[in-house]
Structures are given as structure tokens and as C-alpha cells.
Amino acid sequence: MAFKERSLLTLLGSMFRHSPAPRVDDIHALKDIHLSIGPGERVGLLGHNGAGKSTFLKTVAGLYPISGGTRRVTGEIRSLFDLSLGFEPDATGRENILYRGLLLGQTPAFMRARQDEIVAFADLGEFIDYPIRTYSAGMQVRLAFAISTLVGGDILLLDEVIGAGDANFMAKAKRRIAQLIERAEILILASHDFNALNSLCQRGLVFHHGTIVFDGPIAAAVHEHKKISGVAM
């Protein structure tokens, strides 16, 4: 499968060009993936950068379409990646709480009722009434994290663990993630942190160039990933 234009902007641009735009072919980031994950499972995803871990998570979340086969998910998904997605730069932090809540499927009444809790957790002070474009990257992540973790889901998807903020915020973030994991029916965690994977997961999937080359106990998966990557054991 191939396509010529990646966006409306490039399509309009091509109307004013005399030479044809370069052809862009589909990239098959995942190939021959066959597996099922059931209630109660805690699954870790391992692999080198570009191996397909994040693509797999976003496919499960429904953010990426599949070109073949079947994707079936039963339950409500809560994903923690692309934390700044859905922010309106010129709107205030307070306004963005509402906007992002709507993207997460929450009602305006629910978000307004939890607004003070979100502001307190993000610890932004008076900056909550400033435009998002004035925030540092760390401030944006703190606000997005506070909103996104307000409610849990049956299926929790994590791409690495939160890594922005001072020690106090990191401690709060880890406690909240632990609570989300405790409540979730299924956890799928992509990480390079072997300690986190071993402590949180029981099953491991090792990705290599878009395919799953190992599916088994997490300790064995870590061993297999190290062997493939040439990491000293």
C-alpha cells in the first residue's frame, strides 16, 4: 500500500508545484504480531529504540490503524504517552484542563469538580492562569500528568515512567502510577528500566525490528533482550 500526500497542507502545496511530489510508501513498523493479553496480566515490552514497542502501545490504544488482521480490545484504556497531546498553547492551564478532559472522554462538570485537585497536584501556582505557551516542558508534563491520571482504566498503557519534575513531584507521580497499576485489570509497560520491568511485570515481550522474538517470563525476556542487544550480563 502506498500514498502520495501525508496531509491536506502537502496536497494543497502540490497543486502549485510543476514537479510531482516524491512518493511516500507505507512503513510496516509491526509485522506478524499474534498474541492475546488477559485480565490480571502485567506485561513488559522490551527492545531497542525503533523496535516497535511504542507503535505496539499506540496500536493497542487505537491511535494507529492496522493494515491487516484483527485488533480486539475489551475494556476502557488509559494511556500515558504523548502527555502534551491536546494542549492549546494560547489557552490557560485552567482552560486546558477542560479541553484535555474532553479528549479523555470526561464531562465538563466532572473536570470542573476535580479542577482544584488537578491544580494542587501539578503544583503550578499562579501559572495555572497563564497561557500554556509560557510553560516550561516540565510544567506542561506535570499538568498533563495530573489530568491524565485523574481517572484510571481497565487497561493501563505506559511508555516509560514519568521523568520530569523535582523530587517531590516524582514521588507523587510514582505513588499515583502505583495506584493506577493496582486498579488496572491489565498493565502494558514499555521501558528500558529493567528494575521497573522486573518489579512491575510478570510477562515480557521482546521486540526486534517490528516482530516479537520472545514471549515469556519477564526475567527470561530481560535476558533475551540483553543477548540480542549485546548488553553485558
Instruction: For residue range 147-167, list pLDDT tens digits in order.
Output: 988 877 899 999 876 655 567
CA dihedral 215→218→224→230, nearest 10 degrees, is 140
Predicted local confidence at residue 224, as pLDDT? 96
Percent of the chain with pLDDT over 70: 82
Query: Is domain 29-229 classified as CATH 3.40.50.300?
Result: yes
pLDDT band with cut points at 50, 70 and 90 for residue 170: confident
The CA distance from 52 to 158, in Å, is 14
Q: Output the pLDDT for position 174.
A: 84
The pLDDT value recorded for residue 89 is 93
Average pLDDT over residues 106-128: 92
Mean pLDDT computed over 25-51: 87
**Spacing of C-alpha 86 from chain mean position:** 13
| pLDDT value, residue 48 | 92
Q: What is the rounded average pLDDT of the residues 168-174?
A: 83
pLDDT band at 194 (very low <50, low <70, confident <90, very high): very high
**Angle between helical axes of 137-148 and 93-103 (0-180°, round to 10):** 50
Q: Which comes out higher in pLDDT, residue 127 or 138?
A: 127
What does the block give as the cell for 220? 527470561
Mean pLDDT for all residues in the chain: 84
pTM: 0.77
Look at residue 68 in the predicted model and tell me its pLDDT. 81
pLDDT for 9 equals 47
Domain edges within the chain = 29-229
Q: Give the burial class of 208: count Cβ atoms within 10 A of its Cβ; 0-12 exposed, 13-18 middle, 19 or more buried.
A: middle
27: pLDDT strictly greater than 70: no
Give the model confidence (pLDDT) of 77-93 as tens digits: 888 876 666 689 999 99
Residue 46's pLDDT is 96
Separation of alpha carbons 170 and 162, rounded Å? 7
Residue 150: per-residue pLDDT? 85
The pLDDT score that the predictor gives to residue 115 is 92
